[in-house]
């Protein structure tokens, strides 16, 4: 699924918890999350604080 489709699915409540975390980790990694509406940044911060997502510098895996 492309990014726009994932965001629309998220906003429609169609993503499960793992898909939501994956979406937000991708948005954090790309930096896009901080340019979207405020909810996304707040949700990203909540997921980071909960240990579900990681700031880019702390991502425990290497993306290829």
User: Residue 56: its pLDDT value, please?
Assistant: 84
Domain annotation covers residue 38: yes
Cα radius of gyration (the chain)? 11
Q: Which parts of the chain register pLDDT below 70? A: 57-64
Report the predicted TM-score, pTM, of the whole model to 2 decimal places: 0.85
User: What gap in Å lies between CA 64 and CA 61, rounded to an integer?
Assistant: 10
Q: Supply 23's token pair.
A: 């979406």
Domain annotation covers residue 64: no
User: Residue 57: its pLDDT value, please?
Assistant: 66
Domain annotation covers residue 63: no
Domain count, the chain: 1
Full residue range of the structural domain in which residue 11 is found: 3-58
User: What gap in Å lies between CA 39 and CA 13, rounded to an integer?
Assistant: 14
């Amino acid at each position: 699924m492309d990014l726009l489709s994932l965001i629309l699915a998220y906003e429609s409540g169609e993503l499960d918890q793992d898909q939501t975390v994956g979406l937000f980790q991708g948005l954090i990694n790309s930096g896009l999350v901080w340019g979207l509406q405020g909810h996304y940044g707040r949700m990203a911060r909540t997921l980071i604080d909960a240990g579900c997502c990681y700031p880019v510098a702390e991502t425990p895996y290497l993306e290829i």
